Amino acid sequence: MKPRIAVLVPCYNEEVAIAKVVCHFQMALPGAIIYVYDNNSKDHTADVARAAGAVVRQETQQGKGHVVRRMFRDIDADFYLMVDGDDTYQASVAPEMLALAQSGPFDLVNCVRQETEGDAYRNGHRWGNAMLTGVVRSIFGDRVQDMLSGYKVFSRRFVKSFPALSQGFDIETELTVHALELSMPVAHAQGRYKGRLEGSESKLHTYRDGWRILMMILKLVRHERPLFFFGAISGLLAAASVLISLPVVLTYVETGLVPRLPTAVLSTGIMLLAALSLLAGIILDTVTRGRREVRLLAYLQHPPFPSTDECCAPAQRT
């Protein structure tokens, strides 16, 4: 059984590189359909991609998250390969990634970038990627590497159960957390990562997008780990309450009096907030469990694509 493969290329002002990307993936994956989603480009990205043989579609809401949401909704395939349109990723790795996805089968195969040129990564990008990937690994699980890589293969089950709430480059974080939260099988492949072509500009702003990704991580922690999130707030509030009340308690033990009544009231109020925060975390944790079960049911509605071993296995006689 031959899988239907869709190559998804989100694009914004990639006129210089998009033709090479389309041609390289046409050679690497002859049977795949290549979709280029133009996100309000101000150059001739759409025309160049169409002339190179890609199926070109438009997404008018600005931001990579909006583009990915549209692609996942519109396109029907067995495996989805998503790659940036800047010609920085190695198309020849695609067959290996797809074979790996089918062999498991794996719902997510992530390409771990191997830098081949000194200017492929900016220092801020390298440091930010390591920090943000480390944060996600420590909170949601250490089964992912190079979280911000723009070169991934997804199964149909992954794509059709993914809620896609992000708007910009923070979509990479949401994709990773979705796989980790549903305990999906994840694999990695190695691929060369090179610098952009001359005349091509990165759309990623190191500090602004890094801040947005960090905020997305905090939002996902609040949504997916509410007991941890609100429990941490509760612990901080409780510690502050104890520190504030300590002089009051010591004075009361020595004299039997409470001369600092406002301090005592403040300490009590903070401790009540700590208790409320913990209670909110407990309640939301139950709600989150229900949401996770709904996503898991959506995931299980789509059968896995047969693995390579199952495809090659001889039919059993009855």
Mean pLDDT across 254-273: 87
- Checking if the pLDDT of 274 tops 70, the result is yes
Burial of 18 per CB tally in 10 Å (0-12, 13-18, 19+): buried
Cα distances from 274 to residues 42, 85, 277, in angstroms, run: 51, 48, 5
d(CA 227, CA 178): 18
pLDDT tens track for 56-71: 999 999 988 899 999 9
Element of type H or E holding 57: strand 55-58
Confidence at 263, pLDDT banded by 50, 70, 90: confident
Give pTM, 2 decimals.
0.80
Fold of 5-224: Spore Coat Polysaccharide Biosynthesis Protein SpsA; Chain A (3.90.550)
* CB distance 13 to 39 below 8 Å: no
d(CA 186, CA 174): 15
Torsion of CA 53, 200, 66, 98, to 10 degrees: 60
Confidence at 315, pLDDT banded by 50, 70, 90: very low
